[in-house]
């Protein structure tokens, strides 16, 4: 039984570690979040962190589900998973550390398309793993709204 849960635990821990790593690096920048003009429907910082943690758990669980299937397509799905996860990590740096809001918006747009492709690759391997990604895609769409709103309300940064 322990062996059955090992891939789930491992992929969840990797997803959480990669998702939390940039927050440790850029934690001093989070204080500036309160100084931004935010679009309507913006969450407080603790709300973002809570939702993001739950989504990382879901991402890790679904990757483990895909990886346990004996499909030839699982490696392609894993590549899309890894690419979108690293794109997500870099978005945090673009947005929170460097405050390049317009570039981070376009980066996030590319991430959303990459994540949608990941979901399609997951669907080939496991319908359940794909379906559980629907909240993640919805979150990325919300993040696009949020990111563009911050850009419109705050403009370009004065300096990096």
In this predicted model, what pLDDT tens digit does every residue of 67-116 receive, in sequence order?
A: 999 999 999 999 999 999 999 999 988 998 889 999 999 999 999 999 99
What's the pLDDT at 58? 95
> What residue ranges do the domains of the chain occupy?
2-154
Confidence at residue 96, expressed as pLDDT on a 0 to 100 scale: 86
CATH architecture, domain defined by 2-154: Up-down Bundle (1.20)
Q: Quick one: what percent of the chain has pLDDT higher than 90?
A: 66
Hey, is 132 helix, strand or coil? coil
User: For 38, left (φ over 0), alpha (ψ -120 to 50), or beta?
Assistant: beta
């Amino acid at each position: 039984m322990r062996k059955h849960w090992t891939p789930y635990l491992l992929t969840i821990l990797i997803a959480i570690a990669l998702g939390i790593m940039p927050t440790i690096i850029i934690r001093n920048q989070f204080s500036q979040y309160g100084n931004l003009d935010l679009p309507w429907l913006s969450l407080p910082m603790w709300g973002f962190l809570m939702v993001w943690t739950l989504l990382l758990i879901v991402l890790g669980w679904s990757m483990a589900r895909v990886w346990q299937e004996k499909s030839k397509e699982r490696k392609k799905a894993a590549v899309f998973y890894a690419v979108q996860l690293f794109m997500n990590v870099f978005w945090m740096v673009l947005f929170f550390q460097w405050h390049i809001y317009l570039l981070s918006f376009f980066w996030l747009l590319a991430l959303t398309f990459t994540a949608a492709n990941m979901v399609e690759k997951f669907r080939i391997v496991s319908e359940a793993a794909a379906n559980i990604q629907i909240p993640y895609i919805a979150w990325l769409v919300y993040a696009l709204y949020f990111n563009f709103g911050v850009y419109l309300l705050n403009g370009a940064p004065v300096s990096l």
